[in-house]
Structure 1
Amino acid sequence: MSRWEPNARGRLADAALELYRERGYEQTTVAEIAKRAGLTERTFFRHYADKREVLFSGAGELQELFVRAVADAPESAAPIDALARGLDAVSETFAGRRAYARARHAVITANAELRERELIKLASLSAALADTLRRRGVTEPAAGLAAEAGVAVFRIGFERWLADDGERDMTESVREALSAFRAVAAGE
């Protein structure tokens, strides 16, 4: 096995996603993922705690980016405007990644355990955003409501972007979802 080839982490992620799509998440083993990537199981476990984490390894970085963008918004920004900055920052990271995002999403939606993990990730993101808004001086329940709304806008914009024919980028889909939320909140 060619353990010393570059980008072992990326090769493992690609191999896992291919196998999950071909055989299903439950039927795929770590040994098969490692073999497909031309690596050992030991190398797999150096990069990922388990086969589920291959699909969620970027969640921490995504959350950090979102939180940092909200925290860095001008002090005068309304909570929803601070969240809009975070939504833009996160959306930009998906540029050129629609095919991967679609494949990942299909694997997750086909498995209850993975759907649950996705919901936990979104709840963690909401809690981190609410904490950030509170540090910006937003009181409750506004901080919690705004954070939950931000996550909902992200999720809906993401799903619309996945369903799109490829013409619009994710930033456009998320901004459209945010505009729709603003209209609903304004009673329009």
Structure 2
Amino acid sequence: MKRQYEKTTQYFAALMLGVLLTLGSVAQAANNQGFGDVAGDTNALGNSNIFVLNSSGVLTLVKTAWLTADGTPITSTTTVPAGTQVDFMIYVNNKSDLQIDDVTIRDTLDLLFSYNAPDDIRVDNAVVECALTACTVIEQQAIYDAAILVGAGTDAVSGVDSVSYTGTSVNVGNANEANAQQNAAANSVLAVVFTVTVQ
């Protein structure tokens, strides 16, 4: 049994890193100013004001895990018995004042994790952004508590919703599969939750 626990721990730690994020349009900071002239005379038409736009920089995916039975958070090095159900939550903290269009998330599960089929992928984008770039444990709990209450999408690839389960991959967005487009609302957290059983 000890060997099984050690093996489970090893794969549990590895899976926590196996998530990919792709984004559509993420603006970079820029100063903009208009210039002109009248009949070739640049002194006859003054320059416009300088307009400054700031972006939130690179967005980061964060993956957390929770015991399905009671919602207790667990770390990537936790050892759990085979048969334990675990909720994985992946989230993006969008502190930008603008919506981020066309977000895609993919999580390919290791063979020691069995997806809780059918139709168990939930997406929530209603929680307000975290105070800082990195969310606190309390903020993560609020994100998780909200996401698990959301109705699950369908596992099938379709334009009906933004989620699907193909092969061994949980998919959100349409870059990898023909799902509906997934956006991340401004000043909010986009969270994905799904349940697996440890083999």
- Larger C-alpha radius of gyration, 1 or 2? 2
TM-score, normalised to structure 1, is 0.31
Give the TM-score of the pair, scaled to structure 2: 0.30
Larger relative contact order (CA 8 Å, sep ≥ 6): 2
The structure where strand makes up a greater share of residues is 2
